[in-house]
Amino acid sequence: MNKQLAKIYKPGIVKFALNIWPPFWGAGIRILRISDDFRTVDMKLKLRWWNKNANRTQYGGSIFSLTDPVYSLMLMGILGEEYYVWDKEASINFIKPGQSDLFAQFEITQAMLDEIYAVTRHGDKCFPEFIIHVKDAKGTVVSEVHRKLYVRKKPKYRQQLEEQQQS
C-alpha cells in the first residue's frame, strides 16, 4: 500500500469501495461488516440467477471469489504502508452444493499478528495461512478455502531497520 492510500484506508471506505467493486457486485458478494481494527470481516454471497451453475446451486467461482482479496486487504489495513501483502496461493474444497445465500467470516488474531511481526522483523518473508469455512444459511459448511499470503517489509523499512541496528 502506498502512502496516499494509507491515509484513506479505513474500514468504512474499504467496505463501501468493495461493495460497489464490479467483480464483487456482479458475483453477488457483499461485505456485511469490517471491524474498526480490520481484524474481523463478515461477508455474504447472495444466490442469484446469474451466479447459479448448471445444477442451480452457487457457482464455484463465486464461492472462491468470496474469499479472494479479504485477508490481504485486512492485513494491509493492520500492517499499513510498511509492508507488502499479496495473495500467494489458494485452494478450495467443495464439500456440498450451496443452495442458499452463503456466508464467510474472516478473523486475524493477535497471535497471528505476533507471528507475522516476529518473522518479518529483520526483513524476512512470511507466508501466513488461513482457512475459511464458507457456510450456508443454516450454518452448514459448504466449502473450505485455504489461502496463503506473502508478507514482507518494504525495502525502505528493511533498510531503516538495518541502519538502526548498526548505530
The string of pLDDT tens digits covering residues 31-78 is 999 999 999 999 999 999 888 889 999 999 999 999 999 999 999 999
Range of the domain at 153: 3-166
Cut 0.95: pTM above it:
no
| pLDDT score, position 102 | 98
**Coil, strand, or helix at residue 124?**
coil
CA dihedral 22, 148, 108, 110 (to 10 degrees): -150
Q: How far apart are CA 40 and CA 20, in angstroms?
A: 20
Q: Which of 114, 136, 126, 127 is nearest to 158 (CA)?
A: 126
Q: Tell me the pLDDT tens digit for each residue of 110-132.
A: 999 999 999 999 899 999 999 99
Q: Residue 167 pLDDT > 70, yes or no?
A: no
Which CATH number goes with the domain that contains 100? 3.10.129.10
The structural domain count of the chain equals: 1
- How many alpha carbons lie under 13 Å from residue 122 in its C-beta half-sphere? 3
Please report, for residues 1, 108, 132, 146, 163, the alpha-carbon distance to residue 5 in angstroms, rounded to integers and kept in the order given: 6, 21, 27, 28, 27
